[in-house]
Structure 1
Amino acid sequence: MTLRDTLVGLGYAIAYRAALLFFSLSKLPVAGRLFEAPVAARRFTVVTVPMNAKLRETSAILPFDMIRQLVDSAAYVAIADNCVCREAHNCKDYPASPGCVYLGDGARSIKYRTRQATKQEALEWLERARSLGLVTNVVWSSVEFEAIGANPSRTVEICSCCPCCCLMFKTRDASKAYLDNILGFGTARVTSADSCTRCTNCEAACPFKAIKVDMHEGPAVDMTRCKGCGRCVDACRAGVLKVFPDEDPAAITDTCDHSTPNARDLVERFLGMVK
């Protein structure tokens, strides 16, 4: 590793710690208002793709098929061998590899620890990440892209995130403004509260703090925070949680402020950026 790589890596680690502190402070009155400014400017957007959750049949394109579309349409593909977040946090639960995948001509100018890859390699990379329990997030961040030398108008990033280290999932103490910039394709629902064992695994697994387990009533999902990532489904011993696509009328409530068309429309825009 060169001196430049070492210094850049140190810079990422410092920025990572600063971001975690910022998220923790974002709920406070003054800090929260400061946080709203970059959020309102739409400097970043995230689409969470459900992990091994079984979605009910729908006419919409299934989420990981959209990932394949993005990769297949990309004019250029680059891979980071290791995840910067897991490296910075020295993650004990998940390996540092695989790292992020960068798509589009704008990624050609990235200078930091990436290598060109084939589309097939990128898809296998992402499938491996999902098999490890990492959650796929499609990320667009002008701040990050400018920092690593990418062209924000021609670049999209696909991150494989763990709930313990990755910044996209460090949302338990973040302001709702941050959560509102993360779009999902569905929401989790309880299919049988009586069958719930009250183990609280789902509550601990949720990176968005969207589930509370009452010892008498069972689990309840906050639709305004749930992004349908599916971690609760994998964690549920009794199998009483399922992710339903938001376009399913049975899955939509008046309190749900994100929808499948929003997420899909965003991915369509991403397709135009990476071609």
Structure 2
Amino acid sequence: MRKISFADISIFIVNRIFNWRFWIASLTKKSKVAKKIIEKILFEDDDTIIIPNTISINQKIEGEKSEFLPTDILKEVIKKCDDIVIMNDCLCRTSSDCKDYPQDIGCIFLGPTSKKIPRNICHEATVEEALEHVDKADKAGLSHLIGRNKIDSVWMNVRPREGLLTICHCCPCCCLWKVLPNLDSEISDKVSKLEGVKVTVNADRCNLCRKCLKEVCMSDAISLKDNKIAIDEDKCRGCGLCANVCKPKAINIEYQDDTIDSIINRMNNLIEYDKK
């Protein structure tokens, strides 16, 4: 009989309380004490960047020597790492029993701490397998997050968290980070937009189908004003999920090319990993 791991117990609990996540997050706005406790337990020293889905790109990023797409940021970090595991399933989508996006496209974890993740919930991967996994997630219409998330080291009970970097692939319906609007801003600001990204709406192409308004945006940045779709740039995290559902291609995502190296260096500084 297989030994039950801490992660097994955590998955069991998460599956049953996943729909409470919005209420739990809202406590950070209602109580200073709750905010302090929740931040300490789940979000302390977090730093996460949202990387848009490549298929929603309107303009490619052009570097000095080569042409970049947003997911190349993920790939450059993956290439530097020896320790890589891929989760067998997405905890968010399995907890919600997602019907619209693949449940078997799980997070990628990088760094020496990933060695401690129970192998019954993940599998070791080569750099090439991890790069293919990113492409698979991209083609499925998922956006990405990369960074250090304390919540991952907590639910899997692995340490040190400085040795663990998360690459998560998010859908618009089930993602954990849809709680961002419910969190106190000091916590939600730890999840940031890719520098240089800009999301715009072409009113001439928009047919007001309102699909982008139907629980697609993870940060509540989209609204209807004067019978036109409007995006609040202060709230927008640039995930690109709204562009993915926009059939008339009225929502566009554009980038500047001067932040690639700084983002990659920022991620490298977040993790202590065995470099090749």
TM-score by length of 1: 0.81
Q: Which residue number in structure 2 is paired with residue 103 of structure 1?
A: 110
Q: Would the aligned equivalents of 2:206 and 2:248 in 1 still touch at CA under 8 Å?
A: yes
Number of residue-to-residue matches in the alignment: 261
Q: Which residue number in structure 2 is paired with residue 197 of structure 1?
A: 207
Q: Would the aligned equivalents of 2:147 and 2:270 in 1 still touch at CA under 8 Å?
A: no
User: Structure 2: which amino acid aligns with 1:160?
Assistant: H
Within 2, Cα distance between the matches of 1:10 and 1:145?
16
Report deviation, 1:213.
2.0
1:158 to 167, 173, 194: 167
Q: Would the aligned equivalents of 2:88 and 2:122 in 1 still touch at CA under 8 Å?
A: yes
Sequence identity, in percent? 23
Q: Would the aligned equivalents of 2:73 and 2:263 in 1 still touch at CA under 8 Å?
A: no
User: Structure 1: which amino acid aligns with 2:223?
Assistant: K
User: Structure 2: which amino acid aligns with 1:123?
Assistant: L
Q: Which residue number in structure 1 is paired with residue 237 of structure 2?
A: 227
Q: More displaced, 7-16 or 68-77?
A: 7-16
Within 1, Cα distance between the matches of 2:89 and 2:109?
13
Gaps (5+ residues) in structure 2? none
2:56 to 47, 53, 62: 53
Q: Would the aligned equivalents of 1:66 and 1:267 in 2 still touch at CA under 8 Å?
A: no
SS of the residue 1:194 aligns to? coil
Report deviation, 1:80.
0.8
Q: Which residue number in structure 1 is paired with residue 186 of structure 2?
A: 177
Where relative contact order (Cα < 8 A, 6+ residues apart) is larger, the structure is 2
Q: Which residue number in structure 1 is paired with residue 222 of structure 2?
A: 211
Q: Would the aligned equivalents of 2:50 and 2:239 in 1 still touch at CA under 8 Å?
A: yes
- In the TM superposition, what whole-angstrom CA distance separates every residue of 1:75-122 from its partner, at most 9, and x where no partner exists? 211111101121222222222101111111121111261221111111
- After superposition, residues 1-275 of structure 1 pair within 5 angstroms as 2=2, 4-5=4-5, 6-14=8-16, 16-28=18-30, 30=31, 34-35=34-35, 39=39, 42-51=44-53, 52-60=55-63, 62-111=69-118, 113-148=121-156, 149-185=158-194, 186-190=197-201, 192-204=202-214, 205-216=216-227, 218-245=228-255, 263=263, 265-270=265-270, 273=273, 275=275
Within 2, Cα distance between the matches of 1:263 and 1:177?
21
User: Structure 1: which amino acid aligns with 2:82?
Assistant: A
Within 2, Cα distance between the matches of 1:38 and 1:45?
16
- The alignment yields a C-alpha RMSD, in angstroms, of 2.9
Report deviation, 1:64.
1.0
- In the TM superposition, what whole-angstrom CA distance separates every residue of 1:126-161 from its partner, at most 9, and x where no partner exists? 211121112111131234214421421111011111
- In the TM superposition, what whole-angstrom CA distance separates every residue of 1:236-263 from its partner, at most 9, and x where no partner exists? 2332221122668xxxxxxxxxx98875
Gaps (5+ residues) in structure 1? 249-258
